[in-house]
Structure 1
């Protein structure tokens, strides 16, 4: 039996400009749930992001077909029906990340490979810089029982871990979404006015701009799908060189993914790597990986 949300729910305090439309990171951030099992958690996640000013919820292969129409999901959404109705359902994480320049994976356990984890408060500062300079980002959450696979983690740009009580660190999926949505909201609003993303300003921003190109400009980051095509091209080139044995690949591509994830690949850099891979394959007589 579905239990309706408590009528005495706590509501966030309203600021004088609470009804102003939110912009910047609030509209260019998507929350991605990978293979969610329970309709109630999907509804609660919709409620969690709406209370923090977000609206874009993406589901990757949910266990319950048309979960956004499930009575439990609707009940737990508790007024976030618009977010739930606008849910975007896709078959793979690659589809969910299509068009994003940066993504943050939330994980509860240590990974041998993948980007090094950061606490949410630190991780969302990177999110702010990415939004200010490049646009679309995604926050990625795993299944309630098993979390994210290593392959899913490696597909993301950065990794976050909520430093919960080690004696009892179990967080409900929607609770984890709420924590990240809150931290991201506070980061977006900090010193920037309602709804705008933090600029990459100050000495750090100027230094970053100087490293990337002309002063005050930012070179576009590669999208998630561009980077994945680069990995395919690079892997084929390494196989052609007999540097990578497809029958015994070990962890070579995982280590390379971690290396590139630390760099924040720009579009031109991805093109350079693909150009190298293309010439290797041409010399070996097999230009594949396009």
Structure 2
């Protein structure tokens, strides 16, 4: 049970800057039985010898890592994507979970990959990168010096998920984010057809629904039902307009 859960966890590093840090992340992952790594961005400058220096026996994690051009590409097949960041703000998630809360939510499901997304060493996750995630997670720390080294943050999250795996899992099978994104598109287009957007959408309503649907871990049946509901509403809106 522990192995099956941990095999569903994917660590995603957005535009990592240091080869040594990547190696340290690999070692932190292996310590906790997590082996799936995705690197987002141009990796041509990464020095494999420096990665190996820090990764030691965990080098295969780096060698088997998936490399993606964009974060959206990296997250497309996942069912949950949590951006790990201490920063809050107008363009960040309204809710931010503790690592233990995040692990508990993940353990309520029994299938699908879950991404833990980390920003680069200097700037963390950008607003756009956080928006690509479906939820936020923060690690509490000393307010005078709250920033953790990248590999330390990864180690802490991996440890919490390792401990959660030992506690048991749920039985929900959520749909991947690709289907959630499509459902959010349907909701947005339905709202547009209804005239809901009488002015510029300042609240990013599509993203609001997308994140709620993702946090709900919708099953295939639930997602299909919601899709039909909003498609019917769209059809009714069009018929109403044509009848005028």
> Does the 8 Å contact 2:81/2:116 carry over to 1?
yes
**Residue in structure 1 matching 2:191, options 216, 219, 238:** 238
* Deviation readout 1:229-285 (Å, 9 max, x if unpaired): 11222222222223236x822112343344434433332232233223333444566
> Does residue 100 of structure 1 match 2:78?
yes
**Residue in structure 2 matching 1:140, options 109, 113, 117:** 117
**Residue in structure 2 matching 1:46, options 26, 44, 48:** 26
**Residue in structure 2 matching 1:150, options 102, 122, 127:** 127
> Does residue 56 of structure 1 match 2:56?
no
**1:1-290 matched pairs, under 5 angstroms:** 23-62=3-42, 64-65=43-44, 67=46, 70-112=48-90, 113-114=92-93, 116-130=95-109, 133-190=110-167, 198-200=168-170, 218=171, 220-244=173-197, 248-251=200-203, 252-282=205-235
Note closer, same or farther for the CA distance 1:262–1:30 as it changes in structure 2 (3 Å cut): closer
* Deviation readout 1:132-188 (Å, 9 max, x if unpaired): x23422211122233223343344343211001111112111111111111111222
- After superposition, the CA RMSD in angstroms is 2.7
TM-score using structure 2 length? 0.84
> Does the 8 Å contact 2:97/2:137 carry over to 1?
yes
TM-score using structure 1 length? 0.72
Q: Which runs of 5+ in 1 are unaligned?
A: 1-20, 191-197, 201-217, 286-290
Q: For 1:128 and 1:66, how far apart are their aligned partners in 2?
A: 36
* Deviation readout 1:190-232 (Å, 9 max, x if unpaired): 4xxxxxxx133xxxxxxxxxxxxxxxxx453121111111122
> Does the 8 Å contact 2:80/2:214 carry over to 1?
no
Q: For 2:161 and 2:211, how far apart are their aligned partners in 1?
A: 24
